Amino acid sequence: MVTRRAAVASIALGVSALAVDIGAFRRVEVDRATEVDVTGDSYAYLGLSGFHAGEPASYTNRFTGQAVVTLDSMEPSLELDVGVTGSYEDTPVSFTLDEGETMEVELRADVDDVDVLVQASYPDAYIELSRSYEVPEATGVELVADVRAVGGSGRYEWGLENTGGRAATVTSVGVSCTSNSEADRVDSNRILNLEGESIADNPMEIESGCGYVNRVPVDSFTVEPLNDGGEERVLEFDRFMRPPGSPGPPHADMRGEDVTVSIGFQDGSTRSFELEDD
C-alpha cells in the first residue's frame, strides 16, 4: 500500500512520468524531479474548499506554473458559474489559474448533492480527483423584476420565483443597502409581509456605508420551482423609517430608490438581490 507520504517522496524521485493511486486524488502524473503535495484539499498544490452549501466552492493554484482546470460531472442538470458572474454553463467547463490565484465557482442543479470530477493540467504535472458538493438552495431563486414603492409610505414590494428544479426555503431576510440616505431601518408593526401576512418580528437595521447586512429570522416559507407548479412569492417591506427624532414624517419615501436585499436559506446558503423601483 502506498501512503501519502510515500507517494510524495516517490513523485519527487520520479521517472519521466509517474501515476499513483493515493485515495483523495484519483490520479497524479508528473515529470522527472517534480514534487506535488497531495496531503489534503486545504494545503495541496491544487487547493479545494467549499463543499457545503453555505460556502462558495473555490479552487486555488499553489503549484508552479499556470493550471488549466476542467470541471465535469455525470449529473445532467448541473450548471456552473465560473467566477460567480451570474452566467451558468453546462459541464464540462474549463478555466485557467495563475500561480497563487483562486477561482470561486457557483453550482446549481436539480439535486441536493453532486459529484464533480476535477482535472488540473500543469506544464509538468496532471492531477485528477473527485469531490462531492452540496448544491445551494439559493442558486435556484431569482428576483422577480416587478418592484414597486407604495406611494410615499415607505412600503416597498418585491417578489421571488424559483427557476431551479427543487424547492428552496427562506429563513432570514435583511437589507444591506439603499440609495435613500434617510432610511436607517425597516420597522413597523409588521416589518416584512409575505402575500399580506406578517412574517418577521425584529426591525432590520441598515448600516451606513452598506458594508454589513443584518438579516433577521422570518417565519420560514418555501419557494417552489416554477416547472413544478410553483408561483411568485410576493413580499413587502412594511415601512422604511428615518432616524428617530428627524424632522418631517417618520417614514422614508422609497419612490425611485434602490434596495439591496440579502436572503438566507435553510441550508445555510445566501443570495443578494438589488431591487430597483422604476
H/E stretch holding 235: strand 233-237
- 109: cell is 442543479
C-beta neighbour count of 63 within 10 angstroms: 25
What's the confidence (pLDDT) of residue 155? 92
Give pLDDT < 70 ranges for the chain.
1-44, 209
Q: What pLDDT is attached to residue 269?
A: 94
Domain ranges, ordered by start, for the chain: 4-135, 138-276
275 within 8 A of 260, measured Cβ to Cβ? yes
Three cell numbers at 162?
424559483
Q: Assess whether the region 4-135 and the region 138-276 belong to the same CATH fold.
A: yes
Provide the pairing of β-strand 102-108 with 141-150: unpaired
By the 8 A CB rule, do 59 and 31 touch? no
- Let me know the angle formed at the C-alpha of 63 by 69 and 102, rounded to the nearest 5 degrees: 55
Position 100 scores a pLDDT of: 93
pLDDT computed for residue 233 by the predictor: 97
Radius of gyration of the chain (CA): 24
**Locus of grid cell 493515493:** 22
Closest CA to 137 of 104, 156, 113, 115: 113
Would you state the CATH architecture of domain 4-135? Sandwich (2.60)
Q: Which CATH number fits domain 138-276: 1.10.8, 3.30.1300, 4.10.640, 2.60.40?
A: 2.60.40
